[in-house]
Amino acid sequence: MFLKAKKEIAKIISRASGLTEEEAFSSLEMPKGEFGDLACKAAFLLAPWQKKNPAQIAAELVPKLKGHKWVEKVEPAGPYMNFFFNDKFYASALKEVLKTGKSYGKGKKKGKVMVEFPSVNPNKPWHAGHLRNAIIGDSVARVLAHAGWEVESIDYIDDLGLQVAQSLWGYMHLGNKPSGKFDHWLGMQYVEVAKRMETDQKLQAETREMLKKMEEGNNEISKKARWIAEECVKAQYQTDFSYSIFHDGMIFESDIMHTIFHEGIEMLKSSNAIILEKEGKNAGCWVVKLGGKFQNMQDPDKILIRSDGTATYTGKDVIFQLWKLGKLKGKFKYKPFIMQPNGKEAFATGGNIPKPFGKADMVVNVIGSEQIYPQEVIREVLLHLGFDKEAKSYMHLAYEHVALPDEKFSGRAGTWKGYTADELLAESVRRAKEKISKEVPENEKDGIARAVGEGAIRYSFVRTTPEKKLIFKWEEALSLEGNSGPYLQYAYVRARKIMEKAEDKPSVSAKYSFQPEERKLIRELCVFVELVERSASAFRPHMLADYSYMLADMFSKFYTLCPVLKAEEGLRKTRLGIVKAFEIVLGNSLCILGMAIPEKM
């Protein structure tokens, strides 16, 4: 309704002012305070060529604006024109939310998007930094799905990295049997081996030899390495599930090498995208000549294929992205990997089942900000290959990492110990349980604490913009008060309780006269539709986190000033409609943010 109103008002402004409908639409914004429901700043666009003061233009333009069935009045306010909606609009908007329900805010069908996250090395547990990647990626996937995209959540598993070879050496030589959660046990093995690697040249040689056999494949070492990687991923995914994060498929590096790697290499070599250097320091290497913003770099040439025929990390990533975008003929085959709590099975490469993964219209990679340059190189290679459309649809969602107050998280040094995602959730649940009222039955406390603990962490991580570095502090991450996940959960539970206590069913009277606080809340509910689209287009789920908090705060003010259950019948049913509409919209928003909602709080 709100979006429709904006479009129709933009037409009225366009006819009166001479601006295009697009220009008129872009001039409309939601004002703060008591300045109406829509504020128009078209006068600023008209001032340069009319050579008049914007305030004068606004005053002259208001009388020319023809009325609309949803507009009560239009007032000039300096250079702005403020539109005030009537009760008919608010009643219609409220009915729309109630009728649409869980589908409210869903966009029209778009294409397929592949979102890759969190791509954690399969040799250790997730720490708080990995968790940030996973929560951002999952939230982006959810908001894109609500906006109408067909989403494939994919996880890249680097099972051919040196870290896996080191972990395999530890498994085979340290003599420790796996105990406890496999990823935690393996992570400790890795820390021990990495420490020995610093001074033990024999160990260094042995792990390099292991890595070589892993890359060759089809031998005992490669099979053991794959088994270790898969067992670690299965353990990591138990962490995944505890935060309500799920995937469609996993692409293993070893399968990339044996399925699409050589095709990708030949495609690059046979194109004009990369050239073979015949002299100089890069002699024998295939490089991409970077232009544009790269040309002023000291060394703008990027090696994709080394002189020995092996691909660099960026070269392999280019090939992987070409597969995602459907530019390679090679197809992976999959095997059922793990059944997820959401009822969907996640599949992994390395089987014999065809799956329709890949051939995406858009790719979103959630990768740390230190990878901005390599990701820009990939986009540049796509342009060199003539894939202009695909280059525009290749998105790198960069984020700053999570750090401790005094140091960074390090898998090699083991600074993740005590800060794993598992330990974080356990501590959050413990703190939530301590705050639960003694009046709540003991058998209900665990479920409530679990939902509140998980919600506290997810919200605290997602509400921060990706570009901002997070300094991890327990007391901030697990806040149960103020601008927090539990505050939003409580607002939703309170609305649901009101509806449960109500003896009447919500209905909206056509003759209802909406109060200011009611109008503010309904207007904010209307914004959700447009906000989902903006959040999806910008890949910024924190926008929905900010919105949810503002909405919950607005509901609290409404409930204080506008009694619901004790209101007289003429008011009660419509106010129940407002409460139900709030429950729908906040519930949809929390679902996109991946936050569980407890039965009671």
Could you identify the residue written with the tokens 């009045």?
73
Q: How far apart are CA 432 and CA 435, in angstroms?
A: 5
Q: List the Cα angle 31/35/38 in 5-degree steps.
A: 50
Residues 6+ apart with CB under 8 A from 35: 77, 80, 82
Least confident of 16-25, 146-155, 291-300, 323-332: 291-300
Q: How far apart are CA 110 and CA 88, in angstroms?
A: 32
Q: How far apart are CA 455 and CA 410, in angstroms?
A: 26
Task: State residue 309's pLDDT score.
Answer: 80
* Secondary structure string (H, E, C) spanning 485-505: HHHHHHHHHHHHHHHHHCCCC
What is the pLDDT confidence band of residue 98, given thresholds at 50, 70 and 90? very high
CB-facing half-sphere around the CA of 418: CA atoms within 13 A? 8
The answer, yes or no, to whether residue 435 has pLDDT greater than 90, is no
Least Cα distance to 186 among 122, 98, 251 occurs for 122
If DSSP codes are grouped into helix, strand and coil, which group holds residue 38? strand
What is the pLDDT confidence band of residue 102, given thresholds at 50, 70 and 90? very high
Helix, strand, coil: what percent of the chain each, to 5?
55, 15, 35
Q: What residues pair up with 365 in beta bridges, in sequence order?
A: 116, 396
The answer, yes or no, to whether residue 411 has pLDDT greater than 60, is no
Is the Cβ–Cβ distance between 129 and 167 less than 8 Å?
Answer: no
Q: Where are the alpha helices (H) located in 176-295, listed in sequence order? A: 182-197, 201-216, 220-242, 253-259, 261-270
Residues 6+ apart with CB under 8 A from 83: 9, 36, 37, 38, 39, 40, 71, 74
Q: What residues pair up with 338 in beta bridges, in sequence order?
A: 346
The answer, yes or no, to whether residue 252 has pLDDT greater than 80, is yes
Q: How far is CA 146 from the centre of its chain?
A: 12
Q: How far is CA 387 from the centre of its chain?
A: 26
Q: Which CATH architecture has domain 2-85?
A: 2-Layer Sandwich (3.30)
**E strand intervals along 343-494:** 345-349, 353-354, 362-368, 394-399, 402-403, 470-471
Task: State residue 601's pLDDT score.
Answer: 81
Q: CB neighbours (10 Å) of residue 120?
A: 27
Task: State residue 555's pLDDT score.
Answer: 96
Least Cα distance to 467 among 404, 400, 403 occurs for 400
Task: State residue 118's pLDDT score.
Answer: 97
Task: State residue 593's pLDDT score.
Answer: 97
Can you read off the two tokens belonging to residue 36?
A: 């109406």
Is the Cβ–Cβ distance between 487 and 549 less than 8 Å?
Answer: yes
Q: How far apart are CA 190 and CA 167, in angstroms?
A: 5
Residues 6+ apart with CB under 8 A from 76: 55, 58, 59, 61, 62, 82
Which run of H or of E encompasses 154?
strand 150-157
Share of the chain above pLDDT 70, in %: 96
- Provide mean pLDDT across the span 150-164: 95
Q: How far apart are CA 438 and CA 449, in angstroms?
A: 13
Least confident of 34-48, 119-133, 426-440: 426-440
The pLDDT tens digits for 170-209 are 999 998 889 999 999 999 999 999 889 888 999 999 999 9
- CATH code of 435-592, in short, is 1.10.730.10
Least confident of 7-21, 318-332, 373-387, 472-486: 472-486
Least Cα distance to 7 among 68, 94, 59, 96 occurs for 68
The pLDDT tens digits for 490-540 are 999 999 999 999 988 998 988 899 999 999 999 999 999 999 999 999 999
Is the Cβ–Cβ distance between 27 and 46 less than 8 Å?
Answer: no
Q: Out of 3.40.50.620, 3.30.428.10, 3.20.20.60, 1.20.120.530, select the CATH number for domain 112-403.
A: 3.40.50.620
Can you read off the two tokens belonging to residue 448?
A: 């409530």
Q: CB neighbours (10 Å) of residue 64?
A: 11
- In Å, what is the CA distance from 141 to each residue of 108, 468, 517, 553? 16, 20, 34, 26
Task: State residue 316's pLDDT score.
Answer: 92
The answer, yes or no, to whether residue 343 has pLDDT greater than 70, is yes
Q: How far apart are CA 376 and CA 381, in angstroms?
A: 9
Q: How far apart are CA 322 and CA 259, in angstroms?
A: 13
Mean pLDDT of all residues belonging to the chain: 91
Q: What residues pair up with 75 in beta bridges, in sequence order?
A: 82
Spell out the domain ranges in the chain.
2-85, 112-403, 435-592
pTM: 0.91
Specify the pairing of strand 150-157 against strand 112-116: parallel
Q: How far apart are CA 375 and CA 380, in angstroms?
A: 9
Task: State residue 180's pLDDT score.
Answer: 93
Is the Cβ–Cβ distance between 166 and 193 less than 8 Å?
Answer: yes
Supply the DSSP string of 244-276, one letter for each residue: T---SEEEEHHHHHHHTHHHHHHHHHHSSSSEE
What is the pLDDT confidence band of residue 481, given thresholds at 50, 70 and 90? confident
Least confident of 29-38, 224-233, 390-399, 507-516: 29-38
Is the Cβ–Cβ distance between 301 and 282 less than 8 Å?
Answer: yes
